[in-house]
Amino acid sequence: MRGALAAGLLLCAQTAFAQDHSQHTQHALPTSPPPDATDEHARHRGHAAGEDARGAYRPPALTDADRAAAFPDLHGHDMSAHMDDDPFAWMVMADRLEWQQGNALAWEGSAWFGHDRGRLWLRSEGERESGHATEGNVEALWGKPVNAWWDLLAGVRHDIGNDGRDWLALGVQGLAPYKFEVQATAYLGERGQSMLQGEVEYELLLTNRLILQPRIEATAHGRSDAVRGIGSGLGEVDAGLRLRYEVRREFAPYFGIERAVRFGKTADFARAAGHDAHETRWVAGVRFWF
């Protein structure tokens, strides 16, 4: 009798515990919204996050405010307004301004003015002895770039001294492979005279400031001109070696040696005038630009 009573009490306790646990679970878990409401909220969240119909992320479209924030007005320095500009620029360089053994003063320089798409070049080269220009020239050329390294030049040249002859000029200048600076110009003068002149330079950096510069220049003529002491063919080659020290990039004193060699009829005319066909001279000068 007592066993049956104990079993009945145990059964009643289990039933009460089960009912209490069920009610506690219902209060702890939030009730789910109706199916329709759930779908509407999901669609709203998808549009706000930039998702397409398949749930993939879709970046928002750019607005004028976004563009203004990315490219602000920098008070006159807005780079987007200057991206395609080709500003006017200029440069003046005295590549050689030197004293030469024998009390001669030699110079070679150039200046350019213009834009990347085209520039006016002024070039001059010559020598003075005893206060007079023994030889020299001035050139005015228009330069047009043909690529990043080469310019095509066309213009006129006027010789200083002698009979002051004028020439038409056509040439190229630029940077050859291995950083050789090259300049080659063909000239057509009066009475059918023609001349071809080429120059090659190279800069060997011994240190950041000490630079060794070999240079060679050659001149050839189409026909002989006894008045000017010029023979046809290859007339003269000047080869020099200069060591300069750049106090600043814009200013560098140097010293060196140069040898001039005349060939063919040009050498014969030089001997007839009392000059040597081969000359070696020590030089000292400055190189500067601004």
Q: What is the pLDDT of residue 272?
A: 92
The reported pLDDT for the residue numbered 114 is: 96
Q: Domains along the chain? A: 142-289 (2.40.160.40)
- DSSP three-state, residue 262: strand
What's the DSSP call for residue 86?
Answer: -
Query: Can you list the positions of beta strands (E) in the chain?
Result: 89-100, 104-115, 118-129, 132-145, 150-160, 166-176, 180-189, 194-201, 204-205, 210-221, 233-245, 251-262, 278-289
Q: Which pLDDT belongs to residue 195?
A: 97
What pLDDT, on the 0 to 100 scale, is given for residue 149?
A: 95
Chunked mean pLDDT (size 10), the chain, 290 residues: 47 49 46 47 49 67 82 59 74 96 93 95 92 85 95 96 87 96 96 94 97 98 90 96 97 97 94 92 97
Assessment of whether the complete model's pTM goes beyond 0.75: no
Q: What is the pLDDT of residue 228?
A: 86
pLDDT of amino acid 226 = 87
